[in-house]
């Protein structure tokens, strides 16, 4: 039996943020997950906007669910 292997890493979607995910800056509900080489930071929409320019260039991923705030 031949086993197939691949060198391509699998890409998985980030886990959705829930009401229990809290902003690391103020404790409000988190809508943004910034993944850095050293770990993750969670932000509410306000703090994500405030820190985006300084964190995003070094982030390996920026998962933004702030559009949930505008749903009716």
DSSP string across 2-58: PPP--SSPP--PPPPP-TT-B-TTT-SBP-EEEEETTEEEEE-HHHHHHHHHHHGGG
Domain around 59: 32-70
Query: Given a cut of 90, is residue 69 above it in pLDDT?
Result: yes
65 assigned to some structural domain: yes
2 assigned to some structural domain: no
42 assigned to some structural domain: yes
- pLDDT for res 9: 47
- Confidence band of 50 (pLDDT split at 50, 70, 90): very high
38 assigned to some structural domain: yes
């Amino acid at each position: 039996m031949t086993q197939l292997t691949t060198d391509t890493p699998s890409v998985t979607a980030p886990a959705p943020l829930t009401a229990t995910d809290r902003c690391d800056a103020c404790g409000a509900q988190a809508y943004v997950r910034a993944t850095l080489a050293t770990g993750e930071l969670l932000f509410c929409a306000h703090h994500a906007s405030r820190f985006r320019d300084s964190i995003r260039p070094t982030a390996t991923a920026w998962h933004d669910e702030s559009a949930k705030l505008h749903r009716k």
